[in-house]
């Protein structure tokens, strides 16, 4: 392992960007199990002091230090309460960051699991507990084998290195006999390809759950004593980053193994520019391609991996088809790479089983060799057939077979995309539909399927945008009624609103099939509400030197919205708010959300009673609707009618038990003099949205009212760190 192999990190607070390095020793991990320590806690270490070997931390005894980085260390430990099982405790000085909890919901054979995570109050240290499985990473294994030419490397040699690497460690992990035998019979290339397949499947699993690694490298791939690869450091995984995102709380990685778009994102953040290109799961596949290139060529992890086109020359065991797979992973344009980890894993598996590749085109000679290996008797039969068939027939048959393979692949793409769409994974569905449509253009007899694929692309994209629209309008709606919104969050919401408004035609597109009238009406209402809320936010957060430009843009957007949707009370109020005067008589409210817009305008004037009346009119039209009841609850809260506000907000919590509704109901309960019930709501809100600073702030007030000053101070500190 390389404890000094520090990745590059960018943290971007609201007004300043700076570079830091996360815990490098997080590349060290170890065994299976899980749970917590004994009931009686040991005395904590001295404040601001890291534990040492021999200490007891979180009910575990530290046996050895496995590695150390800029912000913490990793220790081999044993847990007395569970038969002294071996663990790795990763200790860092970043207790306010909870990205590590992302790892807790990832349960995959090839992902290092998280047993538990705690923050030591006395020292402020963050402790992650994981199984101890081994100490050797893929980077270490390549380094150990480096004294011989890579063409002489074998699975048996790797097995011996993995065994020797356990010498001197207090805990020895036994290899599984069957897996060890398979590794001993394999070539080095087979071992690397199988490891790549496993890592790709692990990445696909994480990507499907909305997480990307962004620091994949040889030092973050653990290899167990029987050759089983485990992906490390997913405790710092994050969500994908959309293009034009103005800022993100944290972004890191190792420059040598970064994709071009990730490097561009870090450069943009360091210069306070929006991120120019989306950074998603395809960035991880680029890093995996670099890992495969380095491992196949025998290149140490701290040196640049070779060009994939040189792999067959550097290692005769690497075929041109395998080199093409690696090259596709390393395409500069993310759109030219494999769309998902599943697609890459499938091609690696097909290579191991001598099957034609799907993501890249095999050379005819290589396809022939694969066919020969699959069918040892194929050559004699082919010779016999050639004696009775003309060369033209053979060529025609080959062309037909290729076309049939492509036609089946088109059908598989359609099936996969429909399955992704059924699961609500619209981005993955769009990727599969696009790949199938591209292949259908080059396949005879696939016109009908190709047309269906093109229509499905538009449909899946539309559904994906509709989900995003609901989420963004919900957040804008919540913060529009808040007295204070963190500056960083305001810019994030502004960027999201701008993106969705730019996609308005795609949201209302009927080329993928007619929309149901109720669905189309709901989308139009959401777009109208988006325009009203987004333009209001845009005008409020514009810096003074750009206020005039922002006002001009707001007026243009409102005018365009009126051309698209026709006159609307919400647009009329928005135009009046932004200084366009009373252009004609005020339209009468129709939809419930328009009464809510009147309520919001009344709140702007400080007339809470009028706001309540408008919201009651909205609930008359939609008694069980979330939006009118949500607005009514907030207006009642601002009017000081806490009892009724608590009842109305309870209905909202039942429909949408998100953190925002829980915070508002907690405030109503606090106004009724019920701090214990309010504290329960605030605590549940913090658990559901750990990054919602207003929840911490509200809970600190309830705790202080109950005399729990120390806990209140801690919550206030967390709220300040989140921008409240």
Token match 């669905």: residue? 519
Rounded to whole angstroms, the Cα distance separating 210 from 248 reads 16
Residue 83 buriedness (CB in 10 A; 0-12 / 13-18 / 19+) = exposed
Q: Please give the helix or strand (H or E) that residue 652 lies within, else none.
A: helix 642-655
Rg of the chain in Å (alpha carbons):
29
Q: Is 458 left (phi over 0), alpha (psi -120 to 50) or beta?
A: alpha
Q: What is the pLDDT of residue 21?
A: 31
Residue 460 Cα to chain centre, angstroms: 19
Token match 């001295």: residue? 46
Rounded to whole angstroms, the Cα distance separating 57 from 43 reads 8
Give the residues across from 253 on adjacent strands.
Answer: 8
Rounded to whole angstroms, the Cα distance separating 221 from 121 reads 32
Q: What is the pLDDT of residue 32?
A: 33
Identify the structural domains of the chain with CATH numbers, from first to last: 8-352 (1.10.510.10), 378-461 (1.20.58), 462-643 (1.25.40), 657-724 (1.25.40.10)
Q: Please give the helix or strand (H or E) that residue 182 lies within, else none.
A: helix 177-185
Q: Nearest Cα to 99, choosing from 203, 181, 212?
A: 212
Residue 361 main-chain phi, psi, to 5 deg: -95, 125
Rounded to whole angstroms, the Cα distance separating 553 from 532 reads 13
Q: Mean pLDDT throughout 632-648?
A: 91
Better-predicted residue by pLDDT, 168 or 5: 168
pLDDT, tens digit, 9 for 90 and up, residues 458-509: 888 888 888 888 888 878 877 777 666 667 778 888 898 899 888 888 888 7
pLDDT, tens digit, 9 for 90 and up, residues 507-551: 887 766 666 777 778 788 888 888 888 888 888 888 888 888 888
The pLDDT mean for the chain works out to: 84
Tokens of 30: 């170890």
Look at strands 18-20 and 56-57 and give their pairing.
unpaired
0.75 exceeded by the pTM?
Answer: no
pLDDT, tens digit, 9 for 90 and up, residues 18-69: 323 333 333 333 333 333 333 333 344 444 478 999 999 989 999 999 888 7
Tell whether the model's pLDDT for residue 204 goes beyond 90: yes
The per-residue DSSP string of 230-283 comes to EE--GGG-B--B-TT----SEEEE-GGG--HHHHHHHHHHHTTPPP-S-B-HHH
pLDDT, tens digit, 9 for 90 and up, residues 228-277: 999 998 878 889 999 999 988 888 889 999 999 999 999 999 999 999 99
Give the residues across from 8 on adjacent strands.
Answer: 253
Q: Nearest Cα to 473, choosing from 519, 509, 525?
A: 525
């Amino acid at each position: 392992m390389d404890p000094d192999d520090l990745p590059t990190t960018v943290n971007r607070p609201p007004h300043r960007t700076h570079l830091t390095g996360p815990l490098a020793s997080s590349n060290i991990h170890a065994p299976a199990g899980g749970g917590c320590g004994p009931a009686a806690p040991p005395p904590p270490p001295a404040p601001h002091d890291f534990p040492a070997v021999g200490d007891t931390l979180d009910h575990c005894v530290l046996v050895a230090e496995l590695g150390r980085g800029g912000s913490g260390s990793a220790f081999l430990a044993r847990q007395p309460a569970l038969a002294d099982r071996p663990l790795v405790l990763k200790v860092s000085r970043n207790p306010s960051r909870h990205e590590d909890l992302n790892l807790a919901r990832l349960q995959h054979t090839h992902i290092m699991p998280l047993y538990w995570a705690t923050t030591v109050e006395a020292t402020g240290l963050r402790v992650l507990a994981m199984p101890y499985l081994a100490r050797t990473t893929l980077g270490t294994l390549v380094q150990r084998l480096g004294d011989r030419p890579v063409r002489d490397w074998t699975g048996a040699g790797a097995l011996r290195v993995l065994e020797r690497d356990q010498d001197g460690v207090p805990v020895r992990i036994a290899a599984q006999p069957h897996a060890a035998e398979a590794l001993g019979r394999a070539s080095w290339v087979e071992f690397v390809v199988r490891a790549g397949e496993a890592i790709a499947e692990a990445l696909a699993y994480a990507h499907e759950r909305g997480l990307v690694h962004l620091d994949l490298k040889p030092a973050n791939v653990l290899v167990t004593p029987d050759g089983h690869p485990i992906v490390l450091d997913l405790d710092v995984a994050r969500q994908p980053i959309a293009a034009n995102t103005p800022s993100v709380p944290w972004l890191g990685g190792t420059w040598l193994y970064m994709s071009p778009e990730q490097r561009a994102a870090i450069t943009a953040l360091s210069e306070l520019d929006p991120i120019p290109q989306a950074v998603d799961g395809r960035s991880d596949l680029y890093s995996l391609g670099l890992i495969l290139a380095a491992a196949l060529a025998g290149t140490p992890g701290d040196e640049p991996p070779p060009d994939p086109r040189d792999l067959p020359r550097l290692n005769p065991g690497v075929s041109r088809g395998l080199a093409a797979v690696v090259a596709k992973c390393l395409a500069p344009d993310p759109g030219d790479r494999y769309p998902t980890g599943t697609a890459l894993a499938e091609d690696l598996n097909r290579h191991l089983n001598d099957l034609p590749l799907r993501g890249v085109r095999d050379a005819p000679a290589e396809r022939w060799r694969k066919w020969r290996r699959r069918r040892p008797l194929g050559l004699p039969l082919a010779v016999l057939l050639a004696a009775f068939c003309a060369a033209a027939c053979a060529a025609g048959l080959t062309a037909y077979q290729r076309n049939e393979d492509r036609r089946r692949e088109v059908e598989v793409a359609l099936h996969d995309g429909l399955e992704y769409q059924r699961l609500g994974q619209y981005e993955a569905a769009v990727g599969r539909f696009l790949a199938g449509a591209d292949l259908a253009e080059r396949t005879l007899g696939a016109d009908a399927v190709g047309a269906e694929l093109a229509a499905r692309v538009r449909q899946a994209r539309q559904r994906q945008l509709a989900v995003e629209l609901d989420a963004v309008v919900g957040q804008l709606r919540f913060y529009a009624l808040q007295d204070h919104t963190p500056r960083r969050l305001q810019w994030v919401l502004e960027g999201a609103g701008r993106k969705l408004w730019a996609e308005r035609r795609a949201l209302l597109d009927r080329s993928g099939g007619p929309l149901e009238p109720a669905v189309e009406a709901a989308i139009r209402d959401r777009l109208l509400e988006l325009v009203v809320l987004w333009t209001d936010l845009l005008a409020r957060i514009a810096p003074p030197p750009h206020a005039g430009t922002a006002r001009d843009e707001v007026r243009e957007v409102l005018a365009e919205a009126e051309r698209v949707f026709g006159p609307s009370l919400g647009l009329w109020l928005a135009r009046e708010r932004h200084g366009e005067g009373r252009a004609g008589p005020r339209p009468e409210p129709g939809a419930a959300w328009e009464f809510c817009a009147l309520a919001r305008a009344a709140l702007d004037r400080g007339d809470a009673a009028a706001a309540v009346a408008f919201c009651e009119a909205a609930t008359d039209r939609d008694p069980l609707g979330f939006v009118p009841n949500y607005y009514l609850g907030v207006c009642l809260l601002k009017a000081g009618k806490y009892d009724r506000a608590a009842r109305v907000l309870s209905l909202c919590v039942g429909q949408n038990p998100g953190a925002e509704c829980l915070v508002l109901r907690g405030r109503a309960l606090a106004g009724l003099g019920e701090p214990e019930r309010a504290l329960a709501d605030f605590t549940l809100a913090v658990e559901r949205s750990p990054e919602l600073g207003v929840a911490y702030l509200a809970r600190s007030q309830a705790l202080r009212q109950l005399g729990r000053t120390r806990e209140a101070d801690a919550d206030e500190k967390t709220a300040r760190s989140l921008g409240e």
